[in-house]
Structure 1
Amino acid sequence: MSSPRDVRPLPAAGDLPRVRELPKVSLHDHLEGGLRESTILEAGESLGLALPADDVESLGAWFLRAANSGSLVTVLESFWMSVAVMQTADVLSRVACEYVLDLASDGVIYGEVRWAPENMLTKGLSLDDAVEAVQSGLETGIATAAAQGHRIVVRQLLTAMRNGANSLEIARLALRWRDRGVAGFDIAGPEAGFPPSLHRDAFELLASEFFPATVHAGEAAGLDSIRSALVDGRASRLGHGVRITEDIDATGTGPRLGQVARWVRDHGVVLETSPTSNLQTGAVPSGNLAEHPFDLLHRLGFAVTVNTDNRLISQTTLSHEIALLCDTFGYGLPDLERFQLNALSAAFVDAGERAQLEAVIRTGHAPWS
């Protein structure tokens, strides 16, 4: 197993060590976008892949250049490398185990990791084989973290590609594994032109089985995508969702919310924002964190959460994202606690586990208040 990924310091990282100590909830983090560079290099060499770099630093820089393209499509294209190595049970288990340990070292106590099993079948794995391999790795990582004194729970969200035709099959796969580590369903991939309505059969099946879904929406497409996520996808959370601001009129004497924005706010639909990623993909066109709608949405009472999206590709961590927001918007400990409680409120857990995790979050934030 390779050593944990050491993210190089980025500007304006705030009091990062202190933030790292806080108990955190991670809702939106792609397994394919969170590998360690060293793991890609080692697995890629064993598979004979031609990689664009042959050392950890250069490979991290290659991913960061792709991330800073300003295009979601370009960012998605950079996934080819991590997906290419994640084709065997051994590598899937290793990546999942390292994923847990990296989150644990960053102070995460509960995480949901999303990934697309349909992309991991080129070396003979079945869908169930792939899910089993990831679950084995997660359980190993959880046990290893516990032995190191860190309690963490990580569950799978199975993702279907929105530009594919396998969503119903992935929904059935998620239901088969619902009591064995899979907590929810998602669709991802190119958003524009591939609305959730194309996958209505999958979402209707999941709804009939009372199985939760989160939907990427409001990142590369606007209000119609969000509306479809809510109506066709039955989404209780929105992956990113930052373009909900297209339904908010912030001019004049005070912000006025349209029908969709009011529904999202008043019904506590959680927004899984990923600040750095949102700048990199063009979801926030200016590329300036001070112009990210996170703070506006927070002040208006939306249930905003902080996430990483793709830790490798964006060269970030959850603690770093929180520290950046603190530096930019002047948040204090009560705000940070609220962001974690927002995330916990939408986590795909039962009431008993949510209460236990809430106690950990409140206790972990209390010493600084």
Structure 2
Amino acid sequence: MDPSMPMDESAWLARWWHRLPDGRIQCDLCPRECKLHEGQRGACFVRARRADALVLTTYGRSSGFCVDPIEKKPLYHFLPGSAVLSFGTAGCNLACQFCQNWDISKARDTDRLMDRAMPQTIAEAAQQTGCASVAFTYNDPVIFAEYAIDAAIACRERGIRTVAVTAGYIHAQPRRNFFAAMDAANIDLKAFSDDFYFRLTGARLRPVLDTLAYVRHETAVWLEITTLLIPGHNDSDAELTALARWIMDELGPDVPLHLTAFHPDYRMCDVAPTPVATLQRARRIAREQGLLHVYTGNVPDGEGATTWCARCGSALIERDGYRIRRYRLQAGGHCPQCGESLVGHFERDAASFRQAWGGRRQPLWLAT
């Protein structure tokens, strides 16, 4: 069977799987390694065994499209101030008790995916709406990797960048294929404890660390990291120090880290929201460990939302939520005060910068 062709209107032949001696099929996409009898679905719900093969049931189907500011992903060092076409599908290969997109990621009814768009249509829509990039987000794009890769290829042909917002829970071979198609990624490092991962996400820490190291050292993908701080679960001084120390030692001081606030949701409605003081403490700890670009998110904190020059300390990009209030970078991303080059992808200077996108999401309906 040609792996590039759909099996029927609602299923696309998956790329990473093999047959087992006992007759089951094993999915080789992520460390869960789901082993399926005919008619069964994997833990992600969207990869299923059908007609003695593994198929992706959400190819070309989306839970919705929006035009967002790139800062919402969050990406602060990748085309700041630009618009990004965001979309996702349904399902997830993690089982986070604190999921803040649970209505999408925990969806078990693929009939809810009403927006249909093939990869070329997505690329065309991004170009027509003036988006500099397309983000695979809302649920984890790892589980619809075939669709995301094809859409990324179509975008690249039109000069549109692509962004993966992911938990990074993926095996080595599909990881190579997936990130080869991406230009930027924000990867969730949900905690620095395997016990946290096992109890609260149903996953393990090591594969995520492996993905972070792979993306940083073996690809050209621009990388930023997000850690959602949950009071009493992953916000101790010791764990925050260990997390920041690992990033410093294994990835380097230049990788931006976003520390974001939890709010009660899904199966953790009994946990209080993250105080601003917790985020500020976490930022201070991360900076003490040597990280140069540490941000606080989902809270009002001007200092924690600002990009500072690593050499002279000048404010380079000042933000109010997802809106950029002041942009001072020179061409190529240089500090106007000392000339230091800011790490990232910056294609405008202060004279040409125009803020076009604020924090408000704009729905976009695609016709196929």
For the aligned pair, the TM-score class normalised by the smaller chain equals 0.3 to 0.5
Which structure's residues are more often strand, by fraction? 2
The alignment's TM-score, normalised by the length of structure 1, stands at 0.43
Structure possessing the higher radius of gyration over alpha carbons: 2
Instruction: Please report the TM-score for the alignment, with normalisation by the length of structure 2.
Output: 0.43
